[in-house]
Structures are given as C-alpha cells and as structure tokens.
Amino acid sequence: MNEKRCSQQVRVKGLGWPTYQTCARSGVVLEDGKWWCKQHAPSAVKARRDKARTKDDAEWAKRRKENLAVKYHDRLVSALLNLAEWVARNSVHGLQPDECDEALLCLKDIAKEAP
Ligand SMILES: [Zn+2]
C-alpha cells in the first residue's frame, strides 16, 4: 500500500448503499500525521468552509439590512399617514405651534432610526 495516499474516506457514487473507500489521489500534504491530497487536506477543507461561512455571513447581513430598511420604510409611511390624518382632523380648530412641534419631534425620532 502506498503510504503517501490521501487518507480521506470518500463515498463511492453510483451504489445504492453508502459505500466508502480511501481517496484515490496521492497524498501531497502532511497534516495531523497523515497524508492528504490538496482537496482533502484539513487546512484546505477548513479554508473552504471559512470562505463559504464568510459569504453566508455577508449575505445574511445584506438581507438583515434590507429587512430593516423595509420595516423602517413601513413605519415611516405609517407615521406620515397618522400625521396627515391628525393635521386634517385638527386643522379645522387651528393648530397650535406646540402641537406641531410635538408631531415634528415624533418624526425626528423615527428619522434617527434610519438604517
Ligand atoms: Zn483526497
């Protein structure tokens, strides 16, 4: 048996029952006391997983940001509609400046949460 053969057990495709055999490639990387091909070297496997995880994290962050933007937009539209209704209801009585300030402060609070 060639001692410098890759140590990874790989699944044999095409058989109904899961069957594994040692990777057919030559071992070119010595890690953890065993030989591995370039694909199955633990450091290469970890590097691929880390790269995929980084990509997943970036995608997750992007989706989260998009969801926050959508929620913020909905909240802002709702607040503006409430304000418009409030102005329409109260304008017949004449709005007081402090009432307008209160409504503007409310909108400014929402604006601070802009994503
Ligand atoms: Zn291999």
pLDDT for 5: 95
Average pLDDT (10-33) is: 90
Query: Separation of 51 CA from ligand 1 center, angstroms?
Result: 20
Ligand 1 centroid from CA 82, angstroms? 64
Ligand 1 centroid–CA 16 distance in Å is: 22
Look at residue 95 in the predicted model and tell me its pLDDT. Answer: 67
Q: Note the pLDDT of residue 9.
A: 95
Report the pLDDT value the prediction gives residue 37, as an integer from 0 to 100. 97
Going by pLDDT thresholds of 50, 70 and 90, the confidence category of residue 29 is very high
pTM reported for the whole predicted model = 0.57
Q: Reduce the DSSP state of residue 47 to 3 states and report it.
A: helix
Q: CA-based angle 84:87:88, to the nearest 5? A: 85
Indicate whether 1 pLDDT > 80. no
Give the model confidence (pLDDT) of 33-92 as tens digits.
999 999 999 999 999 999 999 999 999 999 999 999 999 999 888 888 888 887 777 776
CB atoms within 10 A of CB 86: 15
* Dihedral angle of Cα 51, 56, 61, 66, to the nearest 10 degrees: 140
Q: 12-51 burial string, b = 16+ CB within 10 Å, else e?
A: eeeeeeeeeeebebebebeeeebbbbeebbeeeeeeeeee
Summarised one tens digit per residue, pLDDT across range 79-108 is 888 888 877 777 766 766 676 677 777 778
C-alpha 13 to ligand 1 mean position (Å): 15
How remote is the CA of residue 57 from the centroid of ligand 1, in Å? 28
